[in-house]
A and B are shown apart, each in its own frame.
Chain A
């Protein structure tokens, strides 16, 4: 089965779940990664049951945030 991650072609056996894909792709800090499949964001609680399908376009997005920090104006 062929699909893309960040626009790059990938081949995996059918039946792979999103959780398994994250492990196999060795995605670092997965708790801070948002996933979109075909432009639809996947709820974290559905990672275990979401199957990747032929032709899917998968995107892993790292949470981007930060800031000057708590309490600097208090």
Chain B
């Protein structure tokens, strides 16, 4: 595991989970904004976006929603930290497609697996420009 750590409030985890469950059986997606101090990335806001692919195998964000989220984050003194999407029926690990389409190595790529809906699994990954994947710790903090 890399030394990069993502700090996520419980309420933000809950909203990610709810968004992904509501989107099931399709994939759901969104953005994470917050602050960075050294290797610690603290999420201060989660943006729940539409999956314009409306697919259970793919997701694409709506650029208009993406732009609105980024501008809102900036207005609130935050930066884009990463994104999340769900894997409705597969494990929480980046697929070849996820790796191929991870264009920004500075971002966190979170995947919530709903393979076992009673035990959803959220993991955070770094994907570098060589498409090497590292798992990052998620520290959950009270809301």
Contacts and interface: CB of A to CB of B under 8 A. Distances in A.
Contacts of A39: 67
Nearest to B66: A61
Interface stretch (B1-9, B16-24, B33-41, B49-57): B49-57
B63 A68 contact: no
B46 to A, nearest CB: 14
A29 interface: yes
Contacts of A68: 27, 56-58, 87-90, 95, 97
Contacts of B60: 63-65
The B interface is mostly helix, strand or loop, or mixed, namely mixed
30 contacts: A6-B70, A7-B74, A32-B101, A32-B103, A41-B64, A59-B67, A61-B63, A62-B104, A63-B60, A63-B103, A64-B29, A64-B101, A65-B53, A66-B58, A66-B59, A66-B94, A66-B98, A66-B102, A66-B109, A67-B55, A67-B85, A67-B98, A68-B87, A69-B96, A69-B98, A70-B57, A70-B97, A72-B89, A72-B90, A73-B56
Interface of A: 6-7, 28-29, 32, 34, 36, 39, 41, 59, 61-73
